[in-house]
Structure 1
Amino acid sequence: MPHTPPTTVEPAQVREFREADPQVRLIDVRTPGEFTATHIPGSYNVPLDLLREHRAELTAQHGDPVVLVCASGARAEQARALLETAGLDRISVLRGGITGWEGEGGDLDRGRGTWAMERQVRLVAGLLVLTGVVASTAYEPLKWISGFVGAGLTFAALSNTCAMSRALGLLPHNRTAATDGRALLDALTGGRDGSRTAG
């Protein structure tokens, strides 16, 4: 991998990078539940919320190239911006995330976990809109539930953030058993023995 890697890389490039440089770190920033369900072999789980929580501690003790991974690339881009602000460099984002990786024939380890966050958001948003429409037949002002959800989704698209996904990420089904945040961060910032939350 060159000294200054591109900010986004294609799945095929990631495979080439890993073959050429075994020090390349794949850091998956999805929730532990999503990571347990499916992840790229050899990747480490360092959730985006954990990075936000410990942003003041984010100093790397290595010069290894890092490729950030999420479901589609949006959360990985947020993580890249956060890490660059913290002074970490040699960071790229896997274009298309896990979806793009799988679409190009990349291997995945699968386990028992939760739905992808985007799918969870679609379910909750859809249920809220449906509830608002149905409930408004009995009490007309409840139609604004649907309007509120629509406004929230519009803002999420324009700002490339999602408050609903952050809230859903705090639910127990999106978390694994208690994990040591420092050990997870070491997968990104520390030596070569950083811990995976799944094999």
Structure 2
Amino acid sequence: MGFLSGLFGNKKYSNINGEELQKMVKENKDVLILDVRTIGEFRSGHIPKSKNIPVQELSSKVGTLDSYKDDEVIVYCASGARSASAARALSKNGFNKIYNLSGGVSSYKGKLK
């Protein structure tokens, strides 16, 4: 039970959809949008104003995001799986307002850059 609750319990982030993301960005210009896909995926199209840190590099680069610990951070990938993993990692590193884009970048209704 301890192992499973560690994997699935104590979730310290919220899942949001594409509409909620757009509303959050409109209401809070300081929100960090974090794309945790590969650099190649990011270059093929990303949500405007997003910062790219591939999930496999996040643990070594999390310190570069310290100024966002008390700000809203929206994390996304292609499907929502890598970003959920990244959201858990950010939570463990003291980030307080983390949101995972369910369904990944395809659930974003705006135009990609």
**Would you say same fold, with TM above 0.5?**
yes
Q: What secondary structure does 2:67 align onto? A: coil
Question: Residues 59 and 70 (structure 1 numbering): CA distance in 2 closer, same or farther, change over 3 Å?
Answer: closer
Q: What secondary structure does 1:107 align onto? A: coil
| Residue 61 of structure 1: aligned partner | 67
Q: Which moved more, 1:81-90 or 1:5-14?
A: 5-14
- Taking the aligned partners of 1:26 and 1:20, their CA distance within structure 2 comes to 14
* Runs of 4+ that moved beyond 4 A: none
Q: Tell me how many residue pairs correspond in the alignment.
A: 101
- Report the AA paired with residue 45 of structure 1: N
- Report the AA paired with residue 93 of structure 1: N
> What TM-score, normalized by structure 1, do the two folds share?
0.47
Residue from 91, 100, 105 that aligns with 2:98: 91
Unaligned runs of 5+ in 1: 110-199
Q: Which has the larger radius of gyration?
A: 1
Unaligned runs of 5+ in 2: 1-11
- Taking the aligned partners of 2:65 and 2:42, their CA distance within structure 1 comes to 24
Question: Residues 33 and 44 (structure 1 numbering): CA distance in 2 closer, same or farther, change over 3 Å?
Answer: same
- Report the AA paired with residue 38 of structure 1: G
> What TM-score, normalized by structure 2, do the two folds share?
0.80
8 Å contact kept, 2:36–2:54: yes
CA-based RMSD: 1.9
Residue from 12, 24, 29 that aligns with 2:36: 29
- Taking the aligned partners of 2:40 and 2:34, their CA distance within structure 1 comes to 15
